[in-house]
Amino acid sequence: MANPDVSNGRRRFLTATTAVVGAVGAGFAAVPFIKSWQPSARAQGAGAPVFVDISKLEFGQRLDVQWRGKPVWVIRRSAEQLEQLAGLDERLRDPDSKNIEQQPEYARNAYRSIKPEVLVLVATCTHLGCVPLFKPELVAQPFDPNWKGGFYCPCHSSRFDIAGRVFQGVPAPSNLEVPPYRFADDKHLVIGVNPEGAA
């Protein structure tokens, strides 16, 4: 897993430099020109899809995006982080994502994502809407000695695993939301639209 200091530095760099632009209907051919194209504030408010370049997102890192006025995270998970998920079910409130409000059908799987390594989440706690902290390290934490990486909400101590699944015994009632999204290609996501053919 990446050194946390390096990750933090890289994260700031990535947040500052990654193109995040509206692109509905733009198509694949528009990608080389997309960095200079920002959606209007009005379009963003109306929920225009957001185009995200994930080509520089390394394992264990997170990108911050805004979609429909909400913070959204894009995280590239390592194989080590993904391996933790199967062993957590008994500690979780909804390990199988049975609450269908919290993710599209195509993200209703063990990883809560289209591709296992790339996680997309709305970054608001399902209790009262605070932004949780990203705690990807697989090390004991003050709030959980058996921590396997995930998200911790400092407002009232809700905890979520690295797929955004909520733990039992915390105030948050449901898993973190997965927004609609699709891959434009291996290096670009579009947040706010479903994959072709998906509901």
Q: Which residues bind ligand FES (CB under 6 A)?
A: 125, 127-130, 153, 155-156, 158, 171-172
Q: Which is nearer to ligand FES, 23 or 125 (CB)?
A: 125
Q: Could you tell me the smallest distance in angstroms from the CB atom of residue 172 to ligand FES? A: 5
Which among 28, 186, 17 has a CA at the least distance from the CA of 118?
186
Q: Could you tell me the smallest distance in angstroms from the CB atom of residue 124 to ligand FES? A: 8
Q: Could you tell me the smallest distance in angstroms from the CB atom of residue 85 to ligand FES? A: 21
Q: Could you tell me the smallest distance in angstroms from the CB atom of residue 197 to ligand FES? A: 35
Q: Could you tell me the smallest distance in angstroms from the CB atom of residue 160 to ligand FES? A: 10
Q: Which is nearer to ligand FES, 109 or 141 (CB)?
A: 141
Q: Which is nearer to ligand FES, 18 or 175 (CB)?
A: 175
Q: Which is nearer to ligand FES, 45 or 154 (CB)?
A: 154
Q: Which is nearer to ligand FES, 93 or 108 (CB)?
A: 93
